[in-house]
Amino acid sequence: MKTASRIYTVLLFLFLFAPIAILLVFSFNEAKSLSVFTGFSLKWYRELFHDEATLQSVRNTLLLAVSAMVISTVMGTAAAVGIERLRVKWLRYTLNTATDIPMTNPDIITGISLMLMFVFVGRLFGLANSLSFWTLLIAHVTFCLPYVILQVLPRLRQMDPSLPEAAEDLGCTPLRAFFKVTIPEIMPGILTGAVMAFTMSLDDFVISYFTSGAGFQTLPIRIYNMTKKTVTPKMYALATIIFFVILALLLISNLTDQGEKKKD
């Protein structure tokens, strides 16, 4: 039984990593071919670092992800605190349902729905093309918000509600009690929510595809446009770099986790 499950696990991970292994190997291919390996070369990496459009799309993606993360984390945390204390039942129910919609709707519908509204409102103001960085940012904040809210809400429920009340009784203003007592208590949820928002924004293709204009290209959209034609190993070089960055981040976060556990 033990060996059977071990073989099964190895086979599944081989399936999951087969295309990634091919990306890694062929990014070092000398020839342009993506199926015949002719010799080792770093030329696709050199080409990648001279491809200004791709580098710009990386900068765009990071700018967008950081902006979407900051806005959705601040607004989402505030929203979670408000929803948790809300006494009006129907409003609470409506807000919870609205929060679930971007999570359960297919991305294509979220993208189309926002695009239709942007186009319609743009026409009202006589704009031929209303899609831009700002519409993209609105879209990203919209699909990041639920992740923040759903991370912060459980933390609030675990928190003793008498803590901020005690701070107020001892002379804190509600605002000061909020920043000094509530925020530190729910910080782990806020941080996880922020990380999730950041990664969702980095990785999103479908919603960005419908809500971005020609002037502002993110990396996934750049990759989409590149894969419309025949792809050069340059893109594989990019994927290889992404792979090692992710690997490093995951290892670091796991190691620090273990470090913290040992301190406890």
Contact set for other proteins, span 164-203 (CB under 8 A): 164, 168, 173-175, 177-178, 199, 203
User: Is residue 13 close enough to count as binding other proteins by CB under 8 A?
Assistant: yes
With 0-12 CB in 10 A as exposed, 13-18 as middle and 19+ as buried, what is 73?
buried
Residues 50 to 69 in contact with other proteins, rule: CB under 8 A: none
β-partners of residue 29 are: 40
With binding defined as CB under 8 A, does residue 141 bind other proteins? yes
Instruction: Please report how close the Cβ of residue 43 comes to other proteins at its closest, in angstroms.
Output: 19
Nearest CA among 76, 84, 111 for reference residue 196: 76
Determine the longest span between alpha carbons in the chain, in angstroms.
75
Amino acid identity at 11: L
Residue with smaller CB distance to other proteins, 41 or 243: 243
d(CA 206, CA 219): 12
- Judged by CB under 8 A, the stretch of 46-54, 76-84, 125-133, 185-193 that binds other proteins is 76-84
Q: Is 243 in the site for other proteins (CB under 8 A)?
A: yes
User: Cβ closer to other proteins: 63 or 178?
Assistant: 178
User: Should residue 219 be labelled a site residue for other proteins when binding is judged by CB under 8 A?
Assistant: yes
Q: Does 18 bind other proteins (CB under 8 A)?
A: yes
Segment near other proteins (CB under 8 A); pick from 41-49, 152-160, 186-194, 232-240 = 232-240
Residue of 108, 114, 120 lying closest to 135 (CA atoms): 114
Rounded Cα gap, residues 166 and 233, in angstroms = 62
- Phi, psi (rounded to 5 degrees) for 259: -60, -45
One residue of 42, 53, 108, 248 binding other proteins per CB under 8 A: 108
133 binds other proteins (CB under 8 A): no
Strand pairing partners for 73? none
